[in-house]
Structure 1
Amino acid sequence: MEEDRTKVLPGPDNDVCAAQLLPLHSPGVWNLTNSNTILRYLLPTLHLQLAIIFILTQSLHMLLRRFHVSRTVTEILTGIILGPTFLGQIPGFTATFFPIENTFLLDSLAKTGFVLFVFLMGVKMEPSMVMRTGKKVWTTGCASVLLPIFMGMIFATWMEDYINFTARPTINYIILLQTISPFPVIACLLNDLKITNSEIGRVALATGLIRELISLALHTPLNYTRVSAQGGSFMTGGLTLLLYIFFIITIVIILRPMFLWIIKHTPEGKPVDTIYIGFISSGVLLSSIICYFLGTQMFHFGPLILGLAVPVGPPLGSALVDRFETLSTGILTPLYMTFCGMRTNFLIIQNLRILSMLRTILLVGTLTKFIGCFIPSLMWKMPLKDATTLSLILSAQGVVEMAVLHSYLQNKTLSEEAFAMVTLSVLITAVIVPYLVRFLYDYSKTYIGYQKRNIQRSTDNAELRIFVCVHRQDDAIAAIKLLDISNPTRESPLLVHVLHLMELKGRATPLLINHKLGQKISAASHSRKIIDVFDYYENKLAGLVSVHAFTAISMPKFMHQDICSLAFDKLMSLVILPFHRKWNSQGKMIVDNNISRSINLQVMELAPCSVGILVDRRKIQRTAPVSPLSRVAVLFLGGDDDREALAYAKRMAQSPAVHLTVLRLAAVENTGEENWETILDTENLKDIRLQSSLRGNVMYREEKVSDGPGTATIVHSMEEIYDLIIVGRHHRSDSPVLSGLLEWAEVPELGAIGNLLASPDVSQPVSVLVVQQQYTKYKLK
């Protein structure tokens, strides 16, 4: 008979209770007795708890994501459902699935995840960025921190006459909580809204970083005052302050150089040694313990300071993020949010007087944070809608506020009633703020309506503005080959803006580096080879080509925002994007990058000018003799995109080194229907007909085609003849010339003709440029 042993264990809120000491492992289902179920063992119970939490969280997220409800909300709602408010009211539910004697395991696991989350956010933050921000961001950041603190102190003093002595600590800590808006919450919100790389997103991140650093600086004297008051002696507070400062100095003077030493001794292109990752992981947990025993009450404060000491970006910062991001952000931190929700009991809210005061405090605190950002934004002449959007983002609440609340609850600083009320406030804010931001700031409509940013609208002797995007050095060389035949002259020069796209690793804030300004940023060194290629090209054609190079470091899902915003600011006419597939010299496909493809699709939807996708096959060996001329062909079926492709080809044909062929494909059965599109096509082809009769390097011909297979035959016959074929992306879907071609399209975003020419079956060194003319309002109606 198993011995009945008991042990004193802490309850969920530090209540001491007597609980049975449960064994860790189950002996197996066949060895269980009637009175000894599997839920009497710690590990099986923990596994069942995790399964219940994750299944319910994912189910709620799948149900609510169509309403744009964030994961933070679904995680808290899961905890509320499993807690005493709902399922906890069922007799025996909590005792069976979430017993008190087992809760400490779930609590420890969740807190470990949150510690890693805060550490990673510290790793991703770049304190040096604060020195590069302007007066506008500094003013907004300082005002949005100091005004809530000042108003909170006034409000706390005013409310002392209306509340009893025992409730004052609770009220004061809630007022203090309303003065913070942590950087991790802002970064997560911008990521959920997919506006991290937008102008508003960049300002919000910079402002949030300033606010976070100011809050860290203010935390030291506040902690000194609190410990002095609780210990009844300024000596106790002074000792805590000295230990606190010593802790920070140790990290800065000892650990920061150690991190730099690790980076120095990591060979370029090689991963950081696993032993270093292990030591840093241990340091994260130790810093949390040290910070807790220093009396800060915030067990995550030490890991945040340690994360700030880690140099941002690769190799060390990105290695830490790669190792711990999925475990922390994907599994353990959501578990912590759910666990906080499980401690919430809305049914115990009964004191209407305290409830009314808390509601007033929460409302005033939120409004004060909003005003603290809104007024400085208006003072710097930010548009009203943008100022409102920025203020809403900086007023958001989320995971850090819930962690602080739960810490107050466990330390008996906060009552369960107050905890439930403030949790409800965090939940409401996390629901409302994203909806309001989406309503006020729709990034997808930023550029729609701006016209005359395409090649067709430009005059032949005007400066041609081309925006080139590259991921690797091969993309740069392919783009230069295209620029070479774009006929740069002194009367009609090329203005080229180059954007090297790099994936954001180990940092939270995206970077846009202007190499013409000579910015000394370590991350820019990875772009050096690509920039050197374009510098050489500019020097070779001095006076004919002007190149401005940039590097964008951001997450792939936001790279299209960097491309579109920079092309918009620089008044570009054409954006050149590299195709997501690459071939070797034998014609074998060696790269198929879905991330690059996704970026191209998003740019095509949002671009403020025309877009071209360049399919580069120049590496394939040609069997036929190489021609001294660049042989360019345009396949013309009609429409805006084909007219844009023809306009670009006509500019190329002004160079005697380019031989241009324009092939018009028309249906055998001509309906004779005359519309505006047909008139525009005819007018654009008149000039080509005239040039073909006057110039030897321009040829025009027409082919009658009855169906899609006939078109495919003609297209494939051109692959061995030409070096570059330019086609439009969109054509009339009901055209008999294209019948059946799109049904088997492997890359439908290139259009019917572009998909034929970009097929992996093509083994000739013919490059393809698929052109889409700029979207405008009348096209989208």
Structure 2
Amino acid sequence: MDDEDGFCGVDPIPIQSQGIWSKSNAKGFLYHDLVRLQIQLALMFTFSQSVHKLLKHCHFARLVSETLAGIVLGPTVLGLVLPSVEEILFPEEGCIFVEMLTKLGYMFFMFLMGVKMDPSMVLKVGIKAWAIATFSIVVPLGYATFVSQTLLPGKVRNKSKHPTTRFVIVTETISSFPVIACLLIDLKIVNSELGRIALASALIRDILNTTFVFLTNYLYWIASVANWLVAWLTLFFSLAFISTIVFGLYPLFLWIIRQTPEAKPVKSVYISLICFAVLGSAIASDNLGMMYPFGPFVLGLTVPAGPPLGSTLEKRLGTFTMGLLTPLLLTYIGMKINLTEMHSMRSIVAILLAYVIGFTIKVIAVFLPALLCKMSVKDAIALALIMSTQGIVELAGYVTFVQTETLSEETYALVALSVLLTAVVVPFLVRSVYDYSRTYIGYQKRNILHSTDNEELRIVACAHKQDDAMGIIKVLEASNPTKHSPIAVFALHLVELLGGTSPVLINHQLRQKTTSLSSSRSQTIIDIFNKYEQHNSGLVNLQAFTAISMPKFMHDDICLLAFDKLASLIILPFHKKWSSQGRVIFNNNVLKNINSKVMDMAPCSVGVLVDRGKVNRAATKSLSSMYRVAMIFLGGDDDREALAYAKRMANSPWVHLTIFRISQLENNTREANWESILDTETLKDARHKCSTNGNVVYREEKVKDGPETAFLLHSVGEDYDLIMVGRRHKSHTNLLSGLIEWAELPELGEIGDLLASSEIRRPVSVLVVQQQLMQKKSK
């Protein structure tokens, strides 16, 4: 309507509703932007979570579920079935606020991915990762250049389709590090040897590819635009912008770390300033002709990975970004997919063919150098598939190109569906050719029972805390290292990875620098093991390592180290700790899960140490008094392995061993099977040792059922410092009747569970032993 001055004015649209009974709601409450935004967010999150609940049992990634939810809410489904509802809820001009949130989410997602990446890893990787990364860049880019510049114009009649097909060919040659890292985490192989090679190769490829594309685009722009002076100035300011981030903000980040006391969080004002820098870098990137997430990604790369700054940023921004903004981004990407716009079959076939050929070229470009690097065929196939996958980074880039009208809606729908198909097929194929659960289980026997008396005993000793190291040292001291039978100890300090994606295994013999996360705690634990080596000079060979990894993948670090070092035994600390009064002061289910996974995958025997020793013990000193050990023998592989370790301890003059042979009362029948024969022969050797060694005692105990077994075990702990027992026993035996149903810790077995119960308050430690799991030969 016209105002008094003759100008035409428009009634402002109120953002917030005044209530359903207000006169301002004559057009409906969805007329207000804030109300519509709230309903949009509620629908998008409800549908994405619902679809994920349905598809997670099929091992579909969240990317697939959340994007499919967007397709349901977009013009493909909702717009086709209920077009009026779709127009009201998601009008073309009414999603501007959702679009702004998705761009904000993409910026912070790329920033956090940069924070999790460690560029210095490029200088530490071997020739294998460099070869794979180089081939995976050169071959696909060479193919894309050759096809788009040479073959394409002569093969496609419709010249208007050249830029689109060329765009698909070029973008298909790219696979980003964040997508590969997320895939490895979903597959639970990020800490495996294959996962480490994939991460290193992807990181090298991302850095080289980003540099190449950046320079190529600007040189092409300089050569093509009329005003070359403007182009050169733009390139100069772009390089100045990147240099400011790298050489200006990196020292600032180091200063923030120095200002943060150890074990203290970074001040909130610093986090706020970094968030402001993320937004500023996105604005600068967009105005310099680059994609807006490029600046935040480079900024994230300059942040030192790990605590205190990297982990704090991950903790403060991770939940908001990964839990809120990223799902919103993926659902919005799905809403932009309009399958009803696909009409030209010729165009569909050309684009899909370009996509399939590009994917095949990427797979070959990784597979061949992997074979040349002497990887197995299955591992090479799995690595090639992993390195060729695409995901959120590519989808978000495609949406940006649609918004800038670089891509048509038809092409975008095709390439987006191709990415989703890749995200579904690649994990399935990798799981088919690469069974990570059987990686370390082999045919070769690596246990104590099958080791000779003059053979070096190789043990991987794992510790999370200082108390773990002190408890394990006591067991190692009793293991009787001699000149004829030395002990090789591979001490592994396990540290949780915070604010990073790439796991790190530090070999302290190579003088590798530790990070701020592990430097002080690792050195304390390493010093404990070093003192043990010094007190046993010439008898013990120690190598110290620190594994920095996510807890759900720590078992891979343990198994891989044991596999590489040909260890016969892994000693793990129990997930509970007791005070000197017998009270439970520490209980961590994460450590419990780690121990269970190690037992399922270990390439050798495993021992879980339930340490109830006194807190103030001098664990780094040699045994100066008699160390009393009890061995509980019921029969089976694990008991025979535990007895073999106990007999080795009994060779020490400072160890007194008592072997308890527990058998069933009034059992006149003899089992004529191979297991019973092995048990009899093993015990015969133990009884012979009793006649020659005065520090070995053999006792036979008869019990009727499980309760009598429990009573006997409780009485045994009165006079011993360490009780050794096998983990697995025959479940149908009467010796364990009633104990199986009440077991709370299945990873310790029925006897181990009984000895680790909170009812025992005496300072007696328990070592639960599981013999190496042997892989079954295929028929």
Q: Bin the TM-score by the shorter chain.
A: over 0.9
- Answering whether residue 426 of structure 2 is matched by residue 433 of structure 1, we say yes
Does the 8 A contact of 1:450 with 1:608 survive in 2? no
1:340 is paired with a residue of what secondary structure? helix
**Of 179, 191, 194, which residue of structure 1 is paired with 2:173?**
179
- Answering whether residue 360 of structure 2 is matched by residue 362 of structure 1, we say no
Partner of residue 55, structure 1:
46
Q: C-alpha separation between the residues in 2 aligned to 1:453 and 1:264?
A: 46
Does the 8 A contact of 1:586 with 1:620 survive in 2? no
What stretches of structure 2 of length at least 5 have no aligned partner?
4-8, 618-622
Q: C-alpha separation between the residues in 1 aligned to 2:338 and 2:672?
A: 71
> Cα deviation per residue 1:554-586 (whole Å; 9 max; x = unaligned)?
111111011111101111111000000001122
Partner of residue 655, structure 2:
658
Partner of residue 11, structure 1:
none
Q: C-alpha separation between the residues in 2 aligned to 1:199 and 1:354?
A: 42
CA drift at 1:42: 2.2
Partner of residue 251, structure 2:
257
**Of 264, 268, 273, which residue of structure 2 is paired with 1:270?**
264
CA drift at 1:27: 2.5
> Superposition pairs for residues 737-752 of structure 1, below 5 Å?
737-752=735-750
Partner of residue 757, structure 1:
755
CA drift at 1:621: 8.8
Taking structure 1 as reference, are residues 363 and 320 closer, same or farther at Cα in structure 2, changes over 3 Å only? same
Does the 8 A contact of 2:402 with 2:408 survive in 1? yes
Identity %: 53
Taking structure 1 as reference, are residues 704 and 369 closer, same or farther at Cα in structure 2, changes over 3 Å only? same
Q: C-alpha separation between the residues in 1 aligned to 2:778 and 2:586?
A: 34
2:95 is paired with a residue of what secondary structure? helix
Partner of residue 451, structure 1:
444
Does the 8 A contact of 1:32 with 1:38 survive in 2? no
Q: C-alpha separation between the residues in 1 aligned to 2:454 and 2:367?
A: 47
Q: Give, as a single letter, the amino acid of the residue that structure 1 aligns with 2:295.
A: G
Partner of residue 555, structure 2:
560
Q: C-alpha separation between the residues in 2 aligned to 1:19 and 1:226?
A: 46
Partner of residue 383, structure 2:
390
Q: C-alpha separation between the residues in 1 aligned to 2:624 and 2:258?
A: 50
Q: Give, as a single letter, the amino acid of the residue that structure 1 aligns with 2:686.
A: I
1:529 is paired with a residue of what secondary structure? helix
Does the 8 A contact of 2:79 with 2:87 survive in 1? no
Does the 8 A contact of 2:18 with 2:24 survive in 1? no
TM-score normalised over the length of structure 2: 0.94
2:129 is paired with a residue of what secondary structure? helix
Taking structure 1 as reference, are residues 32 and 731 closer, same or farther at Cα in structure 2, changes over 3 Å only? farther
Q: C-alpha separation between the residues in 1 aligned to 2:778 and 2:714?
A: 33
Partner of residue 696, structure 1:
694
Does the 8 A contact of 2:17 with 2:25 survive in 1? no
Partner of residue 533, structure 2:
538
Q: C-alpha separation between the residues in 1 aligned to 2:224 and 2:413?
A: 25
**Of 338, 345, 350, which residue of structure 1 is paired with 2:331?**
338
> Superposition pairs for residues 107-118 of structure 1, below 5 Å?
107-118=99-110
1:419 is paired with a residue of what secondary structure? helix
Partner of residue 6, structure 1:
none
Q: C-alpha separation between the residues in 2 aligned to 1:374 and 1:650?
A: 49
> Superposition pairs for residues 717-728 of structure 1, below 5 Å?
717-728=715-726
Does the 8 A contact of 1:586 with 1:621 survive in 2? no
> Superposition pairs for residues 260-299 of structure 1, below 5 Å?
260-296=254-290, 298-299=291-292
1:549 is paired with a residue of what secondary structure? strand
Does the 8 A contact of 1:620 with 1:763 survive in 2? no
Give the number of aligned pairs.
762
CA drift at 1:230: 7.5
Q: Give, as a single letter, the amino acid of the residue that structure 1 aligns with 2:544.
A: A
**Of 218, 224, 231, which residue of structure 2 is paired with 1:224?**
218
Does the 8 A contact of 2:655 with 2:695 survive in 1? yes
> Cα deviation per residue 1:630-680 (whole Å; 9 max; x = unaligned)?
110011111111111111111111112111111111111313332211111
Q: Give, as a single letter, the amino acid of the residue that structure 1 aligns with 2:30.
A: L
Q: Give, as a single letter, the amino acid of the residue that structure 2 aligns with 1:58.
A: Q
Partner of residue 675, structure 1:
673
Q: Give, as a single letter, the amino acid of the residue that structure 2 aligns with 1:99.
A: P
**Of 101, 122, 136, which residue of structure 2 is paired with 1:130?**
122
2:719 is paired with a residue of what secondary structure? coil
- Answering whether residue 511 of structure 2 is matched by residue 511 of structure 1, we say no
Range with bigger deviation, 338-347 or 155-164: 155-164
> Superposition pairs for residues 135-146 of structure 1, below 5 Å?
135-146=127-138
What stretches of structure 1 of length at least 5 have no aligned partner?
4-17
CA drift at 1:690: 2.3
1:546 is paired with a residue of what secondary structure? strand
Q: Give, as a single letter, the amino acid of the residue that structure 1 aligns with 2:464.
A: H
> Cα deviation per residue 1:108-144 (whole Å; 9 max; x = unaligned)?
1112111111101111111111111222221221221
**Of 55, 72, 79, which residue of structure 2 is paired with 1:81?**
72
Q: C-alpha separation between the residues in 2 aligned to 1:429 and 1:414?
A: 20
Q: C-alpha separation between the residues in 2 aligned to 1:32 and 1:336?
A: 35
Partner of residue 65, structure 1:
56
Does the 8 A contact of 2:445 with 2:774 survive in 1? no
CA drift at 1:26: 2.5
Partner of residue 471, structure 2:
478
Q: Give, as a single letter, the amino acid of the residue that structure 2 aligns with 1:224.
A: Y
Does the 8 A contact of 1:620 with 1:765 survive in 2? no
Does the 8 A contact of 1:634 with 1:663 survive in 2? yes
Q: C-alpha separation between the residues in 2 aligned to 1:121 and 1:562?
A: 23
**How much is the aligned-residue C-alpha RMSD, in angstroms?**
2.2
Q: C-alpha separation between the residues in 1 aligned to 2:442 and 2:527?
A: 36
Does the 8 A contact of 1:644 with 1:771 survive in 2? yes
Does the 8 A contact of 1:621 with 1:765 survive in 2? no
Q: C-alpha separation between the residues in 2 aligned to 1:771 and 1:191?
A: 30
- Answering whether residue 232 of structure 2 is matched by residue 235 of structure 1, we say no
Q: C-alpha separation between the residues in 2 aligned to 1:621 and 1:314?
A: 31
Q: C-alpha separation between the residues in 2 aligned to 1:725 and 1:29?
A: 73
**Of 525, 529, 532, which residue of structure 1 is paired with 2:524?**
529
> Cα deviation per residue 1:213-264 (whole Å; 9 max; x = unaligned)?
1122113223324544785432332222111101101112211111111111
2:275 is paired with a residue of what secondary structure? helix
Does the 8 A contact of 2:627 with 2:654 survive in 1? yes
TM-score normalised over the length of structure 1: 0.94
Does the 8 A contact of 1:653 with 1:660 survive in 2? yes
> Superposition pairs for residues 555-634 of structure 1, below 5 Å?
555-619=550-614, 628-634=625-631
Partner of residue 164, structure 2:
170
Partner of residue 120, structure 1:
112
Does the 8 A contact of 1:19 with 1:101 survive in 2? no
Does the 8 A contact of 2:218 with 2:235 survive in 1? yes
CA drift at 1:413: 0.6
CA drift at 1:533: 1.0
- Answering whether residue 546 of structure 2 is matched by residue 548 of structure 1, we say no
Q: C-alpha separation between the residues in 2 aligned to 1:76 and 1:97?
A: 18
2:761 is paired with a residue of what secondary structure? coil
Range with bigger deviation, 134-143 or 548-557: 134-143
**Of 678, 688, 708, which residue of structure 2 is paired with 1:710?**
708
2:480 is paired with a residue of what secondary structure? coil
Q: C-alpha separation between the residues in 1 aligned to 2:11 and 2:449?
A: 81
**Of 87, 90, 96, which residue of structure 2 is paired with 1:95?**
87
Q: C-alpha separation between the residues in 2 aligned to 1:32 and 1:478?
A: 75
CA drift at 1:164: 3.9
1:699 is paired with a residue of what secondary structure? strand
Does the 8 A contact of 1:587 with 1:620 survive in 2? no
1:720 is paired with a residue of what secondary structure? helix
Range with bigger deviation, 592-601 or 358-367: 358-367
CA drift at 1:461: 2.6
2:544 is paired with a residue of what secondary structure? strand
- Answering whether residue 636 of structure 2 is matched by residue 642 of structure 1, we say no
